[in-house]
Amino acid sequence: MPDVIGKLWEAGVVPVISISDVDKAVPLAKALLAGGLPCAEVTFRTAEGEESIRRIAAEVPEVLLGAGTVLSVAQVDKALAAGAKFIVSPGLNPKVVSHCLASNVAVTPGCMTPTDMEAAMELGLKVVKFFPAEQAGGTAFIKAMGGPYRELRFIPTGGINPANLGNYLSLRNVFACGGSWMVKKELLDAGDFIEITRLCREAVQIVADTRTSGKKGV
C-alpha cells in the first residue's frame, strides 16, 4: 500500500478519467504513458468504467490504475477484481475506507471539512482527497488546514488546471493533484491522443518546475 501512495507522489498529477467508450481505454492509457504520467483514476461514473479498468490493467500494466467515484463496498470489490490498485471516493464513507484498509488497498476518500479530516485520521489515513478543491476554498483553505492537521496530506481535485497546478503543489501539505483537463471528454470523443500526450507532458513539467524551485507554503 505505501508503494502505491508513493507512486502517486512521484507522478504529482493523477489524471481523472471518465470513459464512455471502452475501445478508447487502452489507447488513452498509452497516451498517458507517452506523456510521462503512468497513473490514472478511472471513475465509476460511467457503466464502462469497470471494463475500461480491466482492459488497461491487462494490456498496459505499466499504468498504476485507481478506481474513482467509488461509493460502496460492492464497487470496491468490482474495481479490485478488474485490476484497480487504489480506490478514490468523493466523500468519506467509513465502510468503504475500512474495507479497503482490511484488504490492504490504498484509499483516498474525499474530505472537505475538519470533521471529515478528523474522521479520516481516526481511521488511520495520512493522505486524503480534497474535493471539490476550488469550490471548497482552494489553496487558502488547504493552507489553513495545515495548522491543526500538520500530519495530513491532501490530493486536491476539482477545478485544477495548468494555471493553478503549481500553486497547489507548492503547498507543504499537498501530496499531489487530481485533474481531468488533460483527458477532457471532447479529446477522448475525438480520439485526440496526441493532444492528451502533450497536455500530460505539460503537467509533468509543471510538477518538475514546482518541486525543483523548492518553494513550499505553510
> Has residue 218 got a pLDDT over 60?
no
Residues 6+ apart with CB under 8 A from 7: 38, 39, 64
DSSP symbol at 218? -
> Has residue 132 got a pLDDT over 50?
yes
- What number of CA atoms fall less than 13 Å from residue 39's CA on the CB side? 23
Distance CA 120, CA 126 (A): 8
> Has residue 1 got a pLDDT over 70?
no
| Active site (catalytic) residues | 41, 129
What DSSP letter does each residue of 183-209 carry, written as one string? G-HHHHHHT-HHHHHHHHHHHHHHHHH
Compute the average pLDDT of residues 106-123: 97
User: Considering the chain, what is the average pLDDT of its residues?
Assistant: 96
DSSP symbol at 24? G
Q: Which CATH number fits domain 2-208: 1.20.210.10, 3.40.50.300, 3.90.100.10, 3.20.20.70?
A: 3.20.20.70
What DSSP letter does each residue of 109-175 carry, written as one string? EEE-SHHHHHHHHHTT-SEEEETTTTTTTHHHHHHHHTTT-TT-EEEEBSS--TTTHHHHHTBTTB-
Q: What is the pLDDT of residues 39-54, one digit of tens each?
A: 999 999 999 999 999 9
How much of the chain exceeds pLDDT 70, in percent?
A: 97
State the residue for C-alpha cell 478488474: 82
The larger pLDDT score, comparing residue 217 to residue 83, is at: 83
Q: What is the pLDDT of residues 52-110, one digit of tens each?
A: 999 999 999 999 999 999 999 999 999 999 999 999 999 999 999 999 999 999 999 99
Please name the helix (run of DSSP H) or strand (run of DSSP E) that holds residue 82, with its range, or none: helix 73-82
How much of the chain exceeds pLDDT 90, in percent?
A: 96
